[in-house]
Structure 1
Amino acid sequence: MGINSSQTLRRKNLTAQDIIHECNEQSKVKQSYILVTGATSGIGIETGRTLALAGAKVYLMGRSETKLQEVITNINKELQQSTTGGSVQGVLCDLNSLASIKTFAQKFIQDNMPLNILILNAGIFNYKFAQTIDGLEQVMGVNHIGHAYLTKLLMPVLIANNPSRIVVVSSELQWGPPLNYQALEQMSSASTNRSKSWGMLRSYQQSKLANVLFARALAARYKDKQITAYSLHPGVIDTNLTSQLPLQGVLKKFIPKKTPEQGAATSVFCAIKPGLETENGRFFQDSTVTDLGDKWTEDDLDTFWKWTEKIIDERTANLS
């Protein structure tokens, strides 16, 4: 990428709008059809807003029709003053439910809606153990499995509109132990001691690592279809995602936070920056490629892919 350490320091404070200016007309953003999950709060709003104002046709995904309409109304007010030709459209889907994901994807395909950039932005951080509607440990179920199922169902559309990109919002907190498949299976069971090995930070770390592995696995499996994938750390954002963390007041004094405008920058960068094909599957931070996701082997990725497919197949087998 040719970015040195002094440039990296400067890039920490770039906003999503700065990235739009950096890419100029070479990004083809005005020819892009982009779906953003988790688009009714935090950096999801800012990601969708910035891309629409730059001229993209953006689908904003959320589970609350009320919140979606509020976000769309606010963005449309800005679009009325814009001449770029961008637009926003709300789409309802609950990533906590595999049935909801299937219903959404079927309608999206039936309506022949184009798509060439998928931004998997939605994420949760739980303070107590919980399971999804389908009985999956909820943090992994929403942050990875739900997104993986959505991607699987929309992949024909991405291939039909290629070259396409998949952007997976992970976290610097992905750094840690490898996935514990046995523990994940236990937490997604009906066992009375299913929460025994669950931990607040551990569950989040495991889900964010899954995001990194998912981008790597997608890159390897779909590069021949002109599909590229990237994972990223958006920064510590000034939102309510981790507002209830222990010692949060102390942490605020020592960990610099980004605004949502700055937090959305790397997502926008990975979505539209020209020439990223050579960095397919890699992990980005501060709109800069890093080596933080490079250590995983093909065997690791194969094991992860088969596990993900197994979970999806098992949990969707009886969906109508």
Structure 2
Amino acid sequence: MSAERVSVVICVYTEDRWDDILAAVASVRAQSLPAHDVLLVVDHNPVLLRRLEERYGGARRMRVLANAGPRGLSAGRNTGIAACDGDIVAFLDDDAVAERDWLRWFADAYTDPLVLGVGGRTRPVWASGRRPVWFPEEFDWVVGASYRGQPTGRAPVRNVLGGNASFRRVAFDIAGGFATGIGRDGDRRPMGCEETEFCIRLAQAKPGAVLLIDDRAVIWHRVPAEREAYGYFRSRCYAEGLSKALVTRSVGTEAGLATERAYAARVLPLGAARALRDALRGRPGSLGRAAAIASGAAVTATGYAAARLRGSSARPAFGEGAVR
């Protein structure tokens, strides 16, 4: 087991998630391997900032601070990185709870000095109590969860998923911080991929660096009712295409789409075939799953193509949010 200190950064932005935030913090404070410190970074919301300061102001090894950069998740994470003291920095979504051994399994993977980042398994908690019958597991990334087709066990990956991730502190010295202008920034469009861009940039800056996924580091991510709807599925897929275009502008098309090509060539056809086979067996929702796989792939590709054709001059900015 690694003896290195683990800091946890939770970025928050809305009072609508008050109960979720409290649950996320409680799950971190109940870890079998205690966090060295916990940082709640509030994204340009003075009311929420004051409320959390009142709640946690006297708590040991906890800090509540304002995002020091532009609005958005990337700058919030960068603010937390700059303020924490740990050798390892872990990130937890504000609407997720971590299992008791979450940090223990993260720390265990860092006994190998080549490992610079470790992600875990994120499981969805559906507001309706069950997965919509049409919603394919291959697209669970739409709701911020691990998806069918990812490696299992403990295995090397190109990138981790940002809501359940950790990195050595030195990784940010090597590659800089998360890029602003790619992921969530307070806009209504559900963008993403800031952690993908960072992981690729880190690997380019440090050849031989290892990034892992470890299934034992589990969190449970809440999926609200509105995200169970096909309309959200479609908008998130389109936004993912836009985000992937921004990633390729930063790190190049070959690196930026390597995993996506394998996913489109193998994972999605297998998923569609599985859904059609289930349809022949009369299983409910199977044709809907097959249709969702086809439409999700098409809409994501359309978003990517639209962004590339538009040729926007917008470029990611690296490290904003005071990474030291």
Q: TM-score, normalised by structure 1?
A: 0.35
Q: TM-score, normalised by structure 2?
A: 0.35
More strand by proportion, 1 or 2? 2
